[in-house]
A and B are shown apart, each in its own frame.
Chain A
């Protein structure tokens, strides 16, 4: 019975992690391994091609220093390294920005009046908008390039604290 390939993203509490789960159905005895290719929005390889042992149903890659919109391709190969099956997906990894937004909420909890600051809240809302837009670009438009633009703007806000002072 042939393999019906499928890969899912594993949600992680750690923003640096890209977690993949092989939830394919069926089987193929010729499969001896998997290769992971991860591409950034500009089309370049984000990390070198990575082997994923067939015995492991999941793999966690600690590769993100910032949020990223990534295209991920997994190839199932045989003993001759011939690709038998392939599966691709795109995902906006935005945990850093989500955590940043939460930290701003914590600051408001400690000092509620800070939310009245025009600078603070306008920029917080823009950061939120970028995160939601990145996710929407993927979910609705399958456009991981547009998602990366949103992430880049959000990351810029996050990394410049003066926008929230």
Chain B
């Protein structure tokens, strides 16, 4: 049984098969086992009906069933027609995709197309109409820069019968949201309160927009009896509760963190004094994970 064919391909095969069937009939030649005198008319009739519906709405869900019915009706004339089309170079490729892609800066963007072609084909990828050398597969993956956001990615698939452009897909690149964490002996509260941030932060952590974030202090002894500052974009709001099964749950306690400070587009939560993250509380936890929400 033939692989699933695109509907437009079936219609093209039927168009050829129709003439083959009439030609046989005009010469009173009936291929063995196919002596139905009505067959050429049936092929014509069903081909036109499917073609009209395809022209009206190519996405009509009933077209797959009726096109398959048409294809089965063609019988040996359909096989002959496919041979003729193949000899003529067949039909141009059918291309689906790619879809728009949105990635965070630093991540890989992948664009994929689907190709239906009875002939061998080649693929070329383009960004904003400019050929990307060496990209010849069905998937084009790359790590975009921020200034590539808004670019249009597309492909052209070519076989012996012609070239078919893909849909245009838009690339969107967003910057990652990061927060920063300081743990150390210096109490930065006074400086931050004066609008000064000269902190050398220990590390950064990823933030999923609008979601609670977690800060891993490892080993927990690093954070023991130290001052803490965490710095996050104001877009993430002020976190009011934290979770740490070893230390405390619920609202951020006054004795742990002061009222937040805003400097520019950043929120700062500053520990009132040194926080005692005592590994002895639970020696089985070598790291200390805090979740702020």
Query: Which residues from chain A sit less than 8 Å from chain B, CB to CB?
Result: 11, 13, 95, 98-99, 101-102, 104-106, 108-109, 112, 115, 121, 124-125, 128, 132
Contacts and interface: CB of A to CB of B under 8 A. Distances in A.
Contacts of A112: 69
B50 to A, nearest CB: 7
Interface residues of B, number: 20
Contacts of A104: 49
A13 B44 CA distance: 22
Contacts, number: 49
Nearest to A105: B49
Nearest to B57: A13
Interface in B34-54: 38, 41-42, 44-46, 48-50, 52-53
Contacts of B52: 98-99, 101-102
B66 A115 contact: no
Contacts of A106: 62, 65-66
Interface of A, secondary structure class, is helix
8 contacts: A101-B45, A104-B49, A105-B45, A105-B49, A109-B66, A109-B68, A109-B69, A125-B45
A11 B65 CA distance: 25
A12 to B, nearest CB: 9
Contacts of A128: 44-45, 48-49
Given A105-B69, A109-B66, A98 B49 contact: yes
Nearest to A110: B65
